[in-house]
Amino acid sequence: MSSQAQPAVAADLRPWTDPDATPFISVKGVSKRFGTFTAVSDVSLDIYRGEVFCLLGGSGCGKTTLLRMLAGFESPTEGKILIDGKDMANVPADRRPTNMMFQSYALFPHMSVEKNVAYGLLREGKSKPEAMDRVAQMLKLVKLEPYAKRKPHQLSGGQRQRVALARALVKQPKVLLLDEPLGALDKKLREETQFELIRIQETLGVTFIVVTHDQEEAMTLATRIGVMTEGEIRQIGEPREIYESPNSRFVADFIGSVNLFEGTVASLNGAQAVVDTADLGPVTTTAPEGVSVGQTVTLAIRPERFALTRAAPAEGTPNTCRAMVRDMGYGGHISSYRLKLGNGRIVSATQSNRLRDEDPIMWDEEISITFPPPVVRVLTR
Amino acid sequence: MRGSWFLPAASFLGFAFLYIPILSLIIYSFNDSQLVTVWGGFSTRWYGELLNDAQILGAAWISLKVGVLSATIATVIGTLAAFVLTRFGRFRGRLLMTGMVTAPLVMPEVLIGLSLLLLFVSMELALGWPSERGMVTVVIAHSTFCAAYVAVIAQSRLRDMDDSLEEAARDLGAGPVRVFFDITLPVIAPALVSGWLLAFTLSLDDLVIASFVSGPGASTLPMVIFSKVRLGVSPDVNALATLIILIVAVAVSVAGWVLYRQSKRG
């Protein structure tokens, strides 16, 4: 396991930025229909070796169906799936180089922890002593050695999750598919387990494909995220890219919270544009390519990007307006505000509480909000 | 309603209605008197006499063999039927088949008995088998209607079972047959045990169907009791009935306990 050399240059860690890199898993134009219902519609994506790729979306968006097609439990109605260059069309689930960790964990209730983990090795034709050796290594990795003889119903939720992980990893699959791996854990355990998952992934160098509805989980775990809705992938990108440069209103709204403002492009000067909005007045920003004067666009501003000040900013500062504080919630590390603009529109803003002895902005104060051009993202769809 | 006298009284009356006849039967089985309705003091002599009654012992042995054989056959057939109905997704006629599997539960026993008798007679004429009616025909008859009960129990267990257990085994490299024997069967085993026990008691209790399809020399215990009672109730029948109640009660409790323990584990 440790024989794999650490990547030497940063580019190796982000193979998707290299147009010549060969993808490890290729999903090409895959659709899945159940009767008249389309669960997955024309999805194409490339996943590279060693990635942690998250499929993120609400329930019923098709992410689990896509994962099940990779595992071989469903076959695509159209399109094909290649893993390590091989077409998976006629390869049944038990012959694929993938293993899956199920949302329900699916531990065999009549087998002890070590028998659960050994099951895959014995099916592979490994001898019993050899299998038990590997099982012991695996249980050590997930820190479950003392529980080898227990039955699944004698374990806590977190322990069951780790048994499921060990069982799915013991055959050293090329790809590990994880369906809501942390979904059944409580918040604190979930945070610990996230980092544990990453540690194990880095130790073994396995490619992970994770399905989740939890955007925080996706952001923390993923090298790249595919945002799905209604069976389609709307955007694929690194977590930062998805958050900072969403390509549509849907993605901007789905990831984190955002304030969206409708407007029309009033003037263009190179890449710099002025957008007229009913809520904020004229907003100076950087326009994406292909935008023309008179076009209707949406401006997206994240709540934490507003600067709130009691004093009006210096004359000539672009992108500023006055607002009334309608509501304020103190959350410890941050405070969240609901601000009422001149025309009655409510926007949300957050401020991080850096100083202990700050004099915080409170209810019913009239303040200035400023949003410098770089924090404003122009969306055309 | 809480704390009122109505609910306790109603349940007491209900249970009394159900169990006083059985209780009186048990009490009279310890009656020393020759006359069934006159109390003549406590005694276990009728139990002793049972042990010397070759006819009753022979019938009990036949009933036991029939029960074990037909419960086993019914468990195999019922499990397969349940597996098909729950695991093959939606196919044409699934609802019809589900209904048909459970129909023997509500069909009058006389009808089942009569139709099986007609089948056996015409089979004997057409195929020469079964050449005479006896234990074999009773076992076949009991297997068919008991299979319906087993199918219902196994079906509900299979439906409760997490589908991903079987998928996980496939994912780990087991073929479909392997999955059935490694995962499905052990997981539903408790339901099959209780199904078997239920089938056994049903077979042990049955009089009507057995009377239709049995032949000379293969009278089951209920058949012998019934013919004895027709000649007048003798006290040893009370003793016998008490023993049968005991066996059935134990089997049903074990079946219930096995199912309960499993449902608690999830």
Looking at residue A371, what is its pLDDT? 93
In this prediction, residues B151-169 reach a mean pLDDT of 92
For A250-303, the pLDDT digits (tens) are: 999 999 899 999 999 999 988 889 999 999 989 999 988 888 899 999 999 999
A300 within 8 A of A307, measured Cβ to Cβ = no
Residues from chain B contacting residue A153 (CB–CB below 8 Å): 265-266
The answer to whether B23 faces chain A, any CB pair under 8 Å, is no
Residues from chain B contacting residue A92 (CB–CB below 8 Å): 170
Looking at residue B3, what is its pLDDT? 66
CA pair distance B241, A187, nearest whole angstrom: 61
CA pair distance A97, A209, nearest whole angstrom: 13
Question: Is B142 inside any structural domain?
Answer: yes
Q: Quick one: which of A251, A250, A233, A237 has its CA closest to A41?
A: A233
β-pairing, A296-301 vs A307-309, is unpaired
Selecting from A94, A100, A153 the residue whose C-beta is nearest the C-beta of B175 gives: A94
Looking at residue A137, what is its pLDDT? 92
For A156-207, the pLDDT digits (tens) are: 988 999 999 999 999 999 999 999 998 878 888 888 888 888 888 888 889 9
For B2-32, the pLDDT digits (tens) are: 568 888 999 999 999 999 988 988 888 888 8
Using DSSP, state whether B189 is helix, strand or coil: helix
CATH number of the structural domain spanning residue B178: 1.10.3720.10
What is the amino acid identity at position B19? Y
Angle CA(B228)–CA(B229)–CA(B235) in degrees, nearest 5?
90
Name the closest residue on chain B to residue A154, using Cα atoms.
B265
Greater confidence, A240 or A196?
A240
Q: Facing residues of A98 across strands? A: A175
Q: Facing residues of B104 across strands? A: none
Q: Which positions 3-62 of A are in contact with B (Cβ < 8 Å)?
A: none
* B187–A104 C-beta distance less than 8 A: no
Q: Which domains can be identified in chain A, with CATH numbers?
A: 10-97+173-251 (3.40.50.300), 257-372 (2.40.50.140)
The answer to whether B108 faces chain A, any CB pair under 8 Å, is no
Say if the ipTM goes beyond 0.85: no
Greater confidence, A208 or A18?
A208
CA pair distance B156, B159, nearest whole angstrom: 5
CA pair distance A34, A44, nearest whole angstrom: 19
Categorize the per-residue pLDDT at A353 as very low, low, confident or very high, splitting at 50, 70 and 90: confident
Shortest Cα–Cα distance, B28 to chain A (Å): 47
Q: What is the pTM of this model?
A: 0.81
Looking at residue A1, what is its pLDDT? 40
Question: Is B106 inside any structural domain?
Answer: yes
Residues 6 or more apart whose Cβ sits within 8 Å of residue B5: none
CA pair distance A166, B144, nearest whole angstrom: 45
Structural domain range at position B154: 43-265
DSSP readout, A73-92?
Answer: SS--SEEEEEETTEE-TT--
- A4 pLDDT more than 50: no
Number of domains in chain B: 1
Question: Is B246 inside any structural domain?
Answer: yes
Question: Is B30 inside any structural domain?
Answer: no
What is the amino acid identity at position B120? F
Question: Is B139 inside any structural domain?
Answer: yes
The continuous run of DSSP H or E covering A232 comes out as strand A232-237
Find the length of chain A: 381
CA pair distance A164, B125, nearest whole angstrom: 60
Under DSSP, the state recorded for B5 is S
CA pair distance A246, A227, nearest whole angstrom: 10
Question: Is B22 inside any structural domain?
Answer: no
Q: Quick one: which of B232, B236, B154, B139 has its CA closest to B193?
A: B154
Residues from chain B contacting residue A94 (CB–CB below 8 Å): 170-175
The answer to whether A157 faces chain B, any CB pair under 8 Å, is no
Residues 6 or more apart whose Cβ sits within 8 Å of residue A227: A56, A57, A233, A234, A235, A236, A242, A250, A251, A254, A255
Tokens of B176: 């479909």
Question: Is B23 inside any structural domain?
Answer: no
* A103–B172 C-beta distance less than 8 A: no
Q: Quick one: which of B149, B158, B147 has its CA closest to B85?
A: B158
Residues from chain A contacting residue B172 (CB–CB below 8 Å): 94, 99, 119-120, 123, 167, 171
Looking at residue A7, what is its pLDDT? 47
Give Cα A82 to chain centroid, integer Å: 23
Q: Facing residues of A367 across strands? A: A323
Question: Is B34 inside any structural domain?
Answer: no
Looking at residue B96, what is its pLDDT? 87
A96 within 8 A of B151, measured Cβ to Cβ = no
The helices-and-strands tally (H runs, E runs) of chain A is 9, 20
B136 within 8 A of B120, measured Cβ to Cβ = no
The answer to whether B178 faces chain A, any CB pair under 8 Å, is yes
Looking at residue A12, what is its pLDDT? 63
Best mutation target among A104, A110, A116 (most B Cβ atoms within 10 Å) is A110
A4-18, A96-110, B24-38, B121-135: lowest mean pLDDT where? A4-18
